[in-house]
Structure formats: structure tokens, C-alpha cells
Amino acid sequence: MSFPISSGLLDAMVLSVVNRNDTYGYEITQMIRKAVDVSESTLYPVLRRLQKGGMLETYDKEFMGRNRRYYRITSVGSNALGDYRDEWCDHKAKVDSILLGVDEKL
């Protein structure tokens, strides 16, 4: 079985990938696909949404005689990523406490 990935989590993962270094569409999808089973088609709206929300910005760079669109994280984006990470830790700890029986004060 697989766990469904929420759209918020996908946003966060894309932001995190771009946060490491500027990268392009295909590479982002390959990175995300190491963890979850999503297609490039699922990620396109995510990238577009983050771009429109001012969290990512793009620039074109030449690669083998054609243009490649690179994504770069903005300050708005890295703030959002920070929030996502905090929320994720909180969420993960709560789920772990039940699923794994980790006895932790919530």
C-alpha cells in the first residue's frame, strides 16, 4: 500500500529540492520520485502554483543548444519552507507516537 501525498506536502518537498540548489523541471521530478510515486504531470501544477505564489522564480539557461528553465527559491519560498518543516516535524512526532508507540509528550 502507499500513503497518499497531500498537495501541501508536495509543495514543501519541491521547495526543499529547489532550496538545495537551482534546478530544472526534469531533475526536480526525478528527485521527488525517489520518495513518492508522482508523475511529471502531477508536479507541473505544483511548480506553476509555487511560481505564481512568488515562492519560486525562473530563469532560462542555455543547455546543449536549447533553453532550460531553472527554478530558484525566493525569500517568500524559503520562509514557507521553514514553516512547512516545523509543521512536518510536529505532524511526524504525533503520528510516530501513535503508529510506532513512541512515548513522547505531545
Partner 1 sequence: MRREEFISELRSRLERLPGEELEAALDYYNEIFLDAGEDKEEETAESLGSIDEIARNIYVENGIDPDGRPTFILDERRGESRQEDIPQQRAYAPAQTGAAPQQSFKASNFLLLLCLFPLWFPLLIVGFVFTFVFFILGFVLEIVFVGAGTAMVIGGIISLFTVPPAGLMSLGAGLILVALFILTFKGVFKGTISFFVSAINKIVKTAHNILFGGAAANG
Judged by CB under 8 A, the residue of 47, 56, 80, 81 near partner 1 is 47
Query: Which residue is listed with cell 511529471?
Result: 40
Show the cell assigned to 42: 502531477
Please report whether residue 36 would count as binding partner 1 according to CB under 8 A. yes
Nearer to partner 1, 3 or 105 (CB): 3
| 59 three-state secondary structure | strand
Rounded to a whole number of angstroms, the minimum distance from the CB of residue 97 to partner 1 is 25
- Neighbour-count burial of 15, counting CB atoms closer than 10 A to its CB (0-12 exposed, 13-18 middle, 19+ buried): buried
Binding residues vs partner 1 (CB under 8 A): 2, 4-7, 10, 24-27, 29, 36-42, 44-49, 66, 68-69
